[in-house]
């Protein structure tokens, strides 16, 4: 087999799956709306069931729903009729996955869910199947051909199912007003959790702030720039009126031979960029990197200076 033929076979699979996704996107409509509304209004858990490859996709869907604020769990259809059905309640909503809609294991579960009064959403490629007829809402996978050359191995159908599951989870998340901060509470570990949870108040320096008054000269500022990591802040009546940085000092030295007696007020930036203590560190990192800033004054809700935040400290804290 030539390298060109191998690449062509790979492209064929990707093209078939991409075309199937495009078709589902084109036909997405009222049934999707009903499914999202049903899931968003769910007072219990989302129960997801499927057999074989559909079951594997269902496990991933359950994890995605749970991490985006909708409690969900996977229920194996076979185990469900041997005791695991006890986890299901009338306030739950079930998502049942079967390409054919005729999986015997799944059909046995349908009867049990119907008796419990559980609302059901079918994900199937056959809108006339028994699964579809028993469901409250049917989401058509629209898959008529698998990418497998024998049209046997679940390939296109599982790709479409997973993508449609993601679409459901994200739409429900937005319908429920799930925020980045909420997401962070479910992902406290790792870099993602740190980025979403770290606030400026967690990282900022609050002791021995580099503060100057209106009468200060660059002699005093230079001492603070050296001792306080390249920033000094002029404060009047608790509010920041200007900022001078090591960069300002460098530019001043290029213009004046004797800088020590120069007034800070003549050098400082009077409209500096500042952060607030309640802001997410990631947002402040973005501003600092965009504008080439290494340190910022931090204000509270009363616009009073409460700290200094340094880019390197935010980066070390994982806020980037």
Give 10-residue mean pLDDT values along the chain (320 residues).
90 91 93 96 93 92 88 85 74 92 85 90 91 93 81 84 95 82 56 67 92 92 90 91 91 85 91 92 89 93 94 80
Q: What is the per-residue burial (b if ≥16 Cβ within 10 Å, else e) of 14-38? A: eebbeebbebbeeebeebbeebbeb
**Torsion angle, alpha carbons of 36, 40, 43, 49, to 10:** 40
Structure tokens at 236: 């009047």
Task: Report the pLDDT value the prediction gives residue 147, as an integer from 0 to 100.
Answer: 80
- CA–CA gap between residue 94 and residue 92 (Å, rounded): 7
Residue 190 pLDDT: 52
φ/ψ of 280, rounded to 5, equals: -70, 135
Return the DSSP state at 276: E
Say if CB 172 and CB 39 are below 8 A apart: yes
| For helices 30-40 and 156-175, angle between their N-to-C axes, nearest 10 degrees | 60
All domains of the chain in start order, with CATH: 3-178 (3.40.50.10490), 200-316 (3.10.580.10)
**pLDDT value at residue 86:** 78
Question: What span, in angstroms and rounded, lies between the C-alpha atoms of 239 and 297?
Answer: 10
Please tell me the predicted confidence (pLDDT) of residue 100. 87
Distance CA(53)–CA(191), nearest Å, equals: 31
| Closest-CA residue to 291 (of 304, 275, 280, 279) | 275
The pLDDT of residue 258: 84
pLDDT at 107: 83
- Residue 193 has a pLDDT of 54
Q: Which pLDDT value is given to residue 238?
A: 82
pLDDT of residue 201: 92
């Amino acid at each position: 087999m030539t390298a060109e033929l191998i690449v062509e076979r790979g492209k064929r699979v990707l093209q078939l799956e991409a075309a199937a996704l495009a078709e589902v996107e084109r036909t997405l409509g009222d049934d999707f709306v009903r499914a999202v509304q049903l899931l968003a209004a769910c007072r219990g858990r989302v129960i997801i069931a499927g057999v074989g490859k559909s079951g594997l996709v269902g496990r991933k869907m359950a994890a995605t729903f749970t991490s985006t604020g909708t409690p969900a769990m996977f229920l194996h259809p076979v185990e469900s009729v041997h005791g695991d059905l006890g986890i299901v309640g009338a306030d739950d909503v079930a998502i049942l996955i079967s390409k054919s809609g005729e999986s015997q294991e799944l059909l046995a579960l349908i009867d049990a869910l119907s008796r419990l009064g559980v609302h059901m959403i079918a994900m199937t490629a056959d809108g006339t199947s028994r699964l579809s007829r028993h469901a409250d809402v049917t989401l058509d996978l629209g898959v008529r051909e698998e990418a497998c050359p024998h049209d046997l191995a679940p390939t296109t159908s599982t790709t479409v199912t997973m993508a449609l599951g993601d679409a459901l989870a994200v739409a429900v998340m937005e319908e429920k007003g799930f925020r980045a901060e909420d997401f962070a509470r479910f992902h406290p570990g790792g870099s993602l959790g740190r980025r979403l949870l770290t606030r400026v108040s967690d990282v900022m320096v609050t002791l021995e702030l580099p503060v100057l008054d209106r009468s200060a000269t660059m002699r005093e500022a230079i001492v603070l720039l050296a001792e306080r990591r390249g920033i000094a802040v002029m404060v009047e009546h608790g509010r920041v009126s200007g900022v001078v940085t090591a960069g300002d000092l460098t530019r001043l030295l290029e213009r004046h031979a004797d800088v020590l007696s120069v007034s800070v007020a003549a050098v400082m930036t009077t409209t500096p960029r500042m952060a607030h203590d309640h802001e997410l560190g990631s947002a402040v990192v973005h501003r600092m990197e965009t504008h080439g800033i290494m340190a910022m004054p931090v204000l509270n809700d009363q616009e009073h200076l409460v700290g200094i935040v340094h880019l390197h400290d935010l980066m070390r804290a994982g806020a980037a």
